Structure 1
Amino acid sequence: MLEKAGCAIGHVPNVGPAVGLYSDLLLHDMGPHLSDPLPRTGLGGGGFC
């Protein structure tokens, strides 16, 4: 299902010892309206994992 939707890159079934995670692990640009006022090092304020 995730492959058909084009989401298999970020939604992975297993990460190390965490089995069945299927979490979205890609960085998304949420834009300036949802940006964090205190951006973390290496991420812009609109970055979200």
Structure 2
Amino acid sequence: MSLFMLILLIVAAIVLFGLGFVVKWLFYIAAALFLIWIISLLLVLIRKR
């Protein structure tokens, strides 16, 4: 994944997290996106070594 895609993913997670207080399902989607972002960021950092 490129850095641009990681940035888009975290922005989407933040937006969905904000909306999650209105709709509970969006909160779960945002949590899943955040976990995907963390995992992909760690994979990118590991590959750079």
TM-score range (shorter-chain normalised) is under 0.3
Say which structure is richer in helix: 2
TM-score normalized by structure 1?
0.24
TM-score normalized by structure 2?
0.24
Say which structure is richer in strand: 1
